[in-house]
Amino acid sequence: MTSKHSESVGQIVREALASVIGTPEKKITGEAQLILDLGMDSLALYEFVIELEEYFELQISDEDIDRIHTVDDIINEIERRLEAGKT
Amino acid sequence: MNHYEQEINQLMLEIFNRILVTEEKALSRGEFKDLSVAEMHTLEGIGLYNSRTMSETAAILEITTGTLTVAVDRLVRKGYVARNRDASDRRVVRVCLTRKGKLAYRMHNKFHTLLVDRITEPLSTEQRDVLLTTLKGIAGFVGEQYRRYTEYPEKQEKRTGQPHETRTTRLEGTL
């Protein structure tokens, strides 16, 4: 992992989410559902995903997005990819 | 034209026209209303994660580099595309999507995914297979006719390995 990713994935995901939906980071819990709880529509969801793709230099497909429901889901998915990338 | 042929013809025209109009209307009412369908397809040709050269992109879109340059100029002005010089060869220009371009691409892609999902949802696995095989056959035939009318004779000869005249004569009776 590069130094760029030294900040925790969870922290970066929350920051990105907060900037897209305009909700304070503190109010974003791991169990929060992106669509049902945080009220994200497809445009906001894609904005968020693109932000993460660019930051972590990875690709998140629509099929991946369909499997992601909560904030923790996306954090786990990114951590898993970064871990796999190290090997 | 018998009744069966009339019905097939009518359905094909209807599908073709309505998809085009729906795509256009969906775009004009959405977040990216400053994009035309043609411009959206240029974004698709550039690709979500690629940084392609102008000639690669033009080849994918089957347009000339001149036409692409005009389209890219407009898309750069609108903020959807970025143009950069190749790091290893400064003579080569590469194009890629900006964040706004990626967003438009993904939203448009979603539109197409939903369209296909709604069409295939009520079908059984066997019906989906038949649909796919049939559509491949139609696409192959239409693609052949498209090239026949749009390609330069020399390019057609190179691709098919047959003299242009012979090929045209052979196809004459079929369409």
pLDDT of residue B169: 47
Residues of chain B with pLDDT under 50: 166, 168-169, 173
pLDDT of residue A1: 40
In chain A, residues with a C-beta closer than 8 Å to the C-beta of B117 are none
Mean pLDDT of A3-10: 68
pLDDT of residue B8: 93
Mean pLDDT of A49-68: 92
Gap from A47 CA to chain B (nearest CA, Å): 6
pLDDT tens digit string along B28-64?
A: 888 898 999 999 999 999 999 988 999 999 999 989 9
B48 SS3 class: coil
- Ramachandran sector of residue B98 (left: φ over 0; alpha: ψ -120 to 50; beta: rest): beta
In chain A, residues with a C-beta closer than 8 Å to the C-beta of B31 are 43
Q: Note whether B106 contacts A54, CB cutoff 8 Å.
A: no
pLDDT of residue A6: 52
Residue of B80, B102, B111, B112 to mutate, interface with A, max A Cβ within 10 Å: B102
d(Cα B37, Cα B41) in Å, to the nearest integer? 6
Higher pLDDT, A2 or A6: A6
Question: Looking at A37, A41, A62, A66, which residue is catalytic?
Answer: A41
pLDDT of residue B164: 58
What domains can you pick out in chain A, each with its CATH number?
Answer: 7-86 (1.10.1200.10)
pLDDT of residue B162: 67
pLDDT of residue B50: 82
Q: Is A67 exposed, middle or buried (0-12, 13-18, 19+ CB in 10 A)?
A: exposed
What domains can you pick out in chain B, each with its CATH number?
Answer: 3-122 (1.10.10.10), 125-175 (no CATH)
Higher pLDDT, A6 or A68: A68
A61 reaches B (C-beta below 8 A): no
A41 is catalytic: yes
In chain B, residues with a C-beta closer than 8 Å to the C-beta of A59 are 49
A20 SS3 class: helix
Instruction: Strand B81-85: give its sheet, edge to edge.
Output: B52-53, B93-97, B81-85
pLDDT of residue B159: 67
d(Cα B94, Cα A85) in Å, to the nearest integer? 27
Residue of A50, A59, A62 with shortest CB distance to B103:
A50
Does residue A2 surpass a pLDDT of 50? no
